[in-house]
Amino acid sequence: MKRLLAHTGLAAGALVMLYPLLWMISASLRPNTEIFEHPGLIPERPTLGNYALGWSSTGTSFGIYLMNSLIICAAVVIGNVLTCSLTAYAFARLRFVGRKTLFGLMLATIMLPGHVTLIAQYSIFRNLNWIDTFWPMIVPSFLATDAFFVFLMVQFIRSIPVELDDAARIDGCGAWGIYRRIILPLLSPALVTTAIFSFIWTWNNFFSQLIYLSTRTRLTVPVALRGFLDATGSSEWGALFAMSVVTLVPVVVVFVIFQRRILAGMAHTGLK
């Protein structure tokens, strides 16, 4: 009986939490006149018209925005996996002068609010003629600036037995060989976690895309979506919801596929 009560409560809670999302999906399938008619979920006259309308109504195909977001995300994922693992390997396994100080600095940058570098970064990127290009979003990831992932990988590498390194060293491997042949393959769970979170965070990252991108054909999904109503100059709520759903689908798909890893990754960051 108690169990039933708990289940009912939890299920009801989940429904209330997810209702706005379900309602948005439902609204995207209704004609404009029906959206605010009733708060229910079942469309009376379901239509895909909003999707067709939304896809092209900003004057640029939504496919372009999706492609731009995808390009940036793919580059960031590669950059983070590559350079964060190099950095983490050095911190976790190699001895060098200044290790403690640099490690402390790396940890400190995790907590650093981005605004304190923002203005100067903007002016630097401007001098490099990088405004309205993808470079301000991509280049930092190839310089391992997301220290959170470095830390995640350092923790993971520390759990890999050092004996494996020693064995490889006896077989004639140098630092690069150990990194390439031993660490990198064994690190793959942490690399996947890094890739997933890099993708999701970059996909949703509105702020830098907002300040750096301006040409319509170079916009990414969040920036395009936010300017949707201005661009269409109307109140096409149905089309707006349809495109909102489109922008959320990639994240939901990634979550469904990698659910276990994402939740484990979340839990890991909290412990140890």
- For residue 155, the minimal CB distance to another protein (Å) is 14
Pick from 45, 115, 129, 163: which binds another protein (CB under 8 A)?
Answer: 115
- 174 near another protein, rule: CB under 8 A: yes
- For residue 74, the minimal CB distance to another protein (Å) is 18
Report how far residue 126's alpha carbon sits from residue 213's, in angstroms, rounded to the nearest whole number. Answer: 12
- For residue 153, the minimal CB distance to another protein (Å) is 12
What's the farthest any 2 CA atoms get from each other in the chain? 74
- 109 near another protein, rule: CB under 8 A: yes
- 124 near another protein, rule: CB under 8 A: yes
- What sign does the dihedral 29-33-39-42 (CA atoms) show? negative
Pick from 39, 59, 172, 233: which binds another protein (CB under 8 A)?
Answer: 39
- What sign does the dihedral 251-257-263-264 (CA atoms) show? negative
Contact 103, 91 (CB under 8 A): yes
Binding to another protein (CB under 8 A) within 213-232 occurs at 222-223, 225-226, 228
Contact 44, 31 (CB under 8 A): no
Token output for 245 = 């759903």
- 100 near another protein, rule: CB under 8 A: no
Q: What phi and psi values does residue 258 have, to the nearest 5 degrees?
A: -105, 25
46-54, 55-63, 91-99, 155-163 -> range binding another protein (CB under 8 A) = 91-99
H or E segment to which residue 168 belongs:
helix 162-170
- 144 near another protein, rule: CB under 8 A: yes
- 134 near another protein, rule: CB under 8 A: no
Q: Total number of residues binding another protein (CB under 8 A)?
A: 87
